[in-house]
């Protein structure tokens, strides 16, 4: 199975004699000329000069895997030789020979990070470089990882794409530059990057401004699924980023849960053909299962949680019949070999919430004969082979009639130990609600922004030849209520997509970019604590889940880059960002900006 990936370009590099790396180089040259210092003085000098995490080291370049529809084996040796020659120009890097790398690899290619670390330890090197080339027609993608053996972590992840195979030379130059600057602390000519942290955010912004938006989310993104070092502007969340390859569809909904009961988290998402389930395994995004929809199915939303308690999360698909517009929702479950429906033709809109990150709660709302959403939300429980309204009071009964199952969540929002609901209204404003349904707080500007809608006839619409034009009721993107960054305070996470027409077109949404905002409660209401970088496209759904199964939840989003039309298929991807513990507050208390 070949990964499809997306990447970046190049600058030249020259050792800077005034930098710490350059000074270290001169010290070594003095040593080589036998101008020796006392051992203790030399050790102290070197400790002061070498940036943290930028030690000299032996480096092993493993043969790159080549994915191509024709024989391109010669590139394996060519990549190793080109990279070795470029890295050998540094006084601080000692690449091992190609023959040593060939013996270390024992004929294998396509190493995972764990494999690279194991080989590095076995051969006593400090760093290992592994990667792959993907050639599709004339285009080429280069992906690489640098593993720090002593610290047992990934020191660098790199990805780049080109329109012709000759661009691999550009990629290798860029990769060598990244290794020398980011791993070994050398300085790039012109001072764009250095071993020390920049005094201001401007240098990083300049470097990023030359890159295409598709390759950016907090400074890095790649298609085959490896987390990367990131560069975030002031106020934006800074954490490692992972991105799937592009899918030729619109991903309108997404959910993360243990679908097959193996203890690992999978991602289920909608496509134009049905529901697909993928798992992130090392640096790959692997398909686990797919369920093809009926021709008349019209997707509305999806969630996943183990509500029936059998150890496998059910996938709740809210679905309409495209012609009658009646609800035809269904539930999928893994049977050990495939996804199969355990319930069909259900008259429920579904949403799963996890107040304060606790046990999942399945909420339901009915569709009426004349109302697209009947007022009233109920908590559903599994009983006698069906999901039925629960007997206990879950607090949803007291919600105002305008609140929908798609717009609400609850938790300890006010940090007072009480479960408080929050909901998006029809205009997109986020409201924190009191026990009587009144607003304790309301966002000054709209948030959310979705492409998914329910169509309904309106007296104001025109009728022509028996066809009645319909208005659109746009469903909000879910909100999440829980402590997302581990600072002990409940966060409210909301999507904020930017509409090019400023929502003036009632039946059309033209989203150009979006981000996720995290808000916490203070004396005045909710204020922004942090946000992700602006993402090109529309954020269609999100989740907090441990998709790399490392014990820490990531912020996961689905992004629609291109809407399906008569001109071609849609284009979407899944992305995830690590959330630093106790993420720093944004510089402004503003809770939202216009869409």
Which tokens is 286 given? 């692997």
* Prediction pTM value: 0.62
Q: Using alpha carbons, select from 196, 135, 189 the residue that is nearest to residue 167.
A: 135
Provide φ and ψ at 126, rounded to 5°.
-90, -35
332-349 pLDDT, tens per residue? 999 999 999 999 999 999
pLDDT of residue 227: 41
- The answer to whether 21 and 54 are in contact (CB under 8 A) is yes
pLDDT range class, residue 11, cuts 50, 70, 90: very low
139-195 pLDDT, tens per residue? 788 888 899 988 888 888 888 887 777 788 888 888 988 898 888 888 754 332 233
163-189 exposure pattern, b = at least 16 Cβ within 10 A, e = fewer: eebebbebbbbbbbbbbbbbbbbbbbe
pLDDT range class, residue 236, cuts 50, 70, 90: low
Average pLDDT estimate for 309-330: 94
% of the chain at pLDDT higher than 90: 43
pLDDT range class, residue 118, cuts 50, 70, 90: confident
Q: Three-state secondary structure along 194-251?
A: CCCCCCCCHHHHHHHHCCCHHHCCCCCCCCCCCCECCCCCCCECCCCEEECCCECCCC
pLDDT of residue 191: 30
3-state helix, strand, coil in the chain (%, to 5): 15, 35, 50
pLDDT range class, residue 220, cuts 50, 70, 90: very low
| 15 pLDDT more than 80 | no
| 245 pLDDT more than 70 | yes
| 40 pLDDT more than 80 | no
**CA atoms of 395 and 389, how far apart (whole Å):** 13
The average confidence (pLDDT) of the chain is 79
Q: Give the residues across from 364 on adjacent strands.
A: 350, 378
Domains of the chain from N-terminus onward: 57-184 (3.40.50.10070), 239-578 (2.120.10)
% of the chain at pLDDT higher than 70: 75
């Amino acid at each position: 199975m070949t990964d499809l990936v997306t990447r970046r370009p190049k600058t030249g590099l020259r050792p800077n004699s005034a930098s710490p790396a350059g000074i270290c180089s001169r010290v070594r040259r003095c040593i080589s000329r036998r101008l020796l210092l006392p051992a203790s003085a030399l050790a102290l000098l070197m400790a002061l000069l070498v940036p943290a995490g930028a030690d000299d080291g032996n480096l092993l370049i493993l043969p790159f895997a080549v994915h191509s529809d024709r024989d391109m084996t010669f590139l394996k040796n060519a990549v190793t030789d080109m990279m070795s020659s470029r890295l050998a120009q540094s006084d601080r890097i000692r690449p091992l020979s190609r023959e040593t790398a060939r013996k270390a690899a024992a004929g294998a290619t396509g190493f995972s990070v764990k494999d690279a670390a194991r080989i590095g330890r076995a051969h006593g090197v400090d760093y290992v470089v592994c990667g792959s080339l993907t050639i599709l027609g004339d285009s080429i993608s280069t992906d690489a990882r640098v593993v720090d053996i002593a610290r047992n972590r990934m020191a660098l992840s790199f990805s780049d794409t080109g329109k012709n195979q000759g661009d691999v030379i550009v990629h290798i130059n860029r990769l060598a530059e990244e290794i020398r600057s980011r791993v070994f602390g050398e300085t790039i000519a012109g001072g764009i990057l250095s071993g020390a942290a920049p005094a201001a955010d401007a240098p990083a912004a300049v470097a990023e401004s030359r890159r295409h938006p598709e390759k950016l989310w907090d400074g890095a993104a790649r298609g085959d699924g490896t987390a990367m070092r990131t560069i975030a502007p002031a106020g934006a969340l800074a954490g490692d980023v992972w991105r799937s390859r592009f899918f030729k569809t619109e991903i309108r909904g997404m959910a993360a849960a243990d679908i097959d009961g193996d203890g690992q988290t999978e991602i289920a998402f909608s496509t134009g053909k049905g529901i697909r389930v993928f798992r992130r395994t090392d640096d790959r995004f692997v398909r686990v299962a797919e369920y093809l929809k009926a021709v008349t199915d019209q997707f509305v939303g999806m969630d996943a949680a183990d509500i029936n308690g059998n150890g496998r999360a059910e996938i709740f698909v809210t679905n309409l019949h495209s012609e009658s517009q009646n609800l035809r929702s269904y539930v999928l479950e893994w049977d050990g070999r495939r996804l199969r429906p355990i319930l069909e033709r259900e008259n429920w809109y579904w949403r799963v919430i996890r107040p304060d990150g606790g046990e999942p709660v399945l909420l339901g709302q009915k569709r009426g004969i004349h109302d697209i959403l009947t007022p009233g939300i109920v908590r559903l429980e599994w009983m006698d082979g069906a999901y039925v309204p629960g007997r206990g009071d879950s607090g949803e009964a007291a919600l105002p009639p305008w609140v929908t199952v798609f717009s609400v969540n609850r938790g300890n929002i006010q940090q007072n130990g009480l479960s408080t609901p929050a909901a998006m209204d029809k205009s997109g404003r986020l409201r924190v609600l009191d026990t009587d349904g009144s607003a304790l707080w309301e966002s000054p500007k709209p948030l959310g922004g979705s492409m998914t809608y329910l169509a309904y006839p309106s007296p104001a619409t025109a009728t022509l030849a028996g066809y009645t034009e319909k208005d659109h009721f746009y469903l909000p993107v879910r909100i999440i209520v829980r402590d997302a960054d581990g600072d002990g305070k409940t966060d409210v996470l909301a999507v904020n997509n930017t509409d090019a027409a400023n929502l003036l077109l009632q039946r059309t949404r033209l989203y150009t970019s979006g981000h996720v905002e995290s808000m916490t409660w203070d004396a005045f209401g909710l204020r922004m604590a942090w946000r992700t970088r602006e993402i090109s496209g529309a954020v269609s759904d999100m989740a907090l889940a441990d998709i790399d199964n490392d014990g820490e939840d990531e912020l996961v989003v689905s992004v629609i880059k291109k809407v399906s039309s008569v001109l071609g298929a849609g284009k979407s991807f899944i992305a995830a960002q690590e959330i630093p513990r106790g993420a720093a507050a944004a510089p402004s208390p503003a809770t939202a900006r216009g869409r």
